[in-house]
Amino acid sequence: MAHSTAGTRNRAVPRPLPDPAGLPALARGSVPLMALAAGLSASGNYFAQPLLDVIQRDLHIGATAAGLIVTAAQAGYALGLILLVPLGDVLERRRLAVSLFSLTALFLLLTAAAPGGPLLIAGTLLVALTSVGAQVVVPFAATLAAPAERGRVVGVVMSGVLLGGLFGRLASGALSELGGWRTAYWVNALLMAVMTVLLQLRLPRLPRSREAGAMSYTGLLRSTLALLRQEQLLRWRAAIGAFSMASYSVQLTALTFLLTRSPFDWNAAAIGLFGLLGVIGVLGMNVAARLGDRGRVQAVSGTAGALLTLSWLPLLAGESSLPWLAVGVISLNIAQQAGLNSCQNVIYALRPEARNRINAGFMTLFFLGGALGSALASVVWSWAGWGGVCLLGGLLAATSLVLWVLERVGTNGGARPVPGAVTR
């Protein structure tokens, strides 16, 4: 448990906990493997986005049905976060991860073979539901990592998730040119099957906690919600993460609208390549991870919130200037990924025995924030154009920064995970 420096009412600085007996250390090469696994698992949720027009023509479905494919991916992932990720605290984690990866491979095959829209939508929902195996791998890595390197390890694995989303879109477009839209799903299914075998062979078995092992499934879900009530820092960080992701999603959604009109007039392929600037966000995440491991997680949080807010100034100037637009996109990506890593550094230090439930609660609210940002961006774009979008994104980012300041005040200085503060 973590306790405030002023007393027991807040959990601000985790106190040392006894190292659980028999906990294995990270084997050589395990971190890159887990990052690759998380990236492959996440990538399948993004395959359909650049292929909607091709799928629509091939399956003879309407635009509404094609749009439901993306909705199904979002809904399935959200359900998986809240319904499946908490199981990592009661089931043996390697078995859970391997099971989810194997099911994802199977559902990718079913999706690839879908003869029509309804089965494609159902397959997409199932793929997204089990692709939360990536969010089982992240706390798995955090548990195996030594306290002094936990931030770095989590940063590397989360970088895999980020890169999986970015390259998933590109890969699906390229593979569709080679053999049609189904090719991306066939190839990803094969890769997921291979990864299932590698995870089974390379990852260690982890002992379950006695407390969690005695829970029923409904008790586990109630416990996930209870953690949000009990852990003040989890609530703060979930709110900070949700607003920062909302700001980030405003840019993701509205950028396509901007680049398809004058003076840019870009096609979908050019927009996809421009989106690769998001890869630079990986640098922000890994720098933040190393600073967090040195006890500077609060400095990272504050800096990330400020940079996220200020990034909307070059984005505003980018309405008619590609260089300023690129500066804004790069800055926003670095800030978002650094802020996410600092939030994870804090929440994973709270209760080592409940990391999967904590991750489930945090990530559910995180992605709900992203969905809210996307919805608001579409509405504001219609009403106020790019200027209104930038104002919206800046306000959401500023809110995340204000929440960080309030967290510092409300928790007597906030959480600052330090090396050796928690168990692996």
Helices (H) and strands (E) in the chain, counts: 17, 2
Return the amino acid letter for 218.
T
Lowest mean pLDDT among 14-23, 78-87, 186-195, 312-321: 14-23
Q: Measured between alpha carbons, how far is 145 from 329 in angstroms, rounded to an integer?
A: 32
pLDDT at 18 over 80: no
Q: Measured between alpha carbons, how far is 292 from 395 in angstroms, rounded to an integer?
A: 26
Q: Measured between alpha carbons, how far is 60 from 70 in angstroms, rounded to an integer?
A: 17
pLDDT at 414 over 90: no
In a domain, 22, yes or no: no
pLDDT at 396: 98
**CATH code where residue 147 lies:** 1.20.1250.20
Q: Torsions phi, psi of 263, nearest 5?
A: -90, 5
Per-residue pLDDT reduced to its tens digit, 90-142? 888 899 999 999 999 999 999 999 999 899 999 999 999 999 999 999 989 98
Q: What is the maximal distance between C-alpha atoms in the chain? A: 64
In a domain, 217, yes or no: no
Lowest mean pLDDT among 96-100, 315-319, 348-352: 348-352
One domain for residues 203 and 228: no
Q: Which of 208, 242, 269 is the last residue of a domain?
A: 208
Residue 265 zone, left/alpha/beta (φ > 0; ψ -120 to 50; rest): left
pLDDT at 27 over 50: yes
In a domain, 145, yes or no: yes
Q: Are 417 and 17 in contact (CB under 8 A)?
A: no
Whole domain around residue 149: which residue ranges? 27-208
Reported as a pLDDT band with limits 50, 70 and 90, residue 424 is: very low
In a domain, 54, yes or no: yes
Neighbouring C-beta atoms of residue 166, cutoff 10 Å: 23
Say if residue 170 is exposed, middle or buried (CB neighbours under 10 Å; 0-12, 13-18, 19+): middle
In a domain, 213, yes or no: no
More confident residue, 293 or 85: 85
One domain for residues 228 and 202: no
In a domain, 111, yes or no: yes
pLDDT at 66 over 80: no
In a domain, 19, yes or no: no
One domain for residues 204 and 270: no
The pair of three-digit structure tokens given for residue 71, joined into one six-digit string: 């909705």
Q: Measured between alpha carbons, how far is 370 from 386 in angstroms, rounded to an integer?
A: 19
The pair of three-digit structure tokens given for residue 61, joined into one six-digit string: 């479905």
pTM metric for this prediction:
0.78
Q: Measured between alpha carbons, how far is 38 from 140 in angstroms, rounded to an integer?
A: 11
Average pLDDT over residues 46-60: 80
In the 8-state DSSP scheme, what is residue 30? H
Say if residue 326 is exposed, middle or buried (CB neighbours under 10 Å; 0-12, 13-18, 19+): middle
pLDDT at 20: 43
Q: Which of 208, 231, 265 is the last residue of a domain?
A: 208
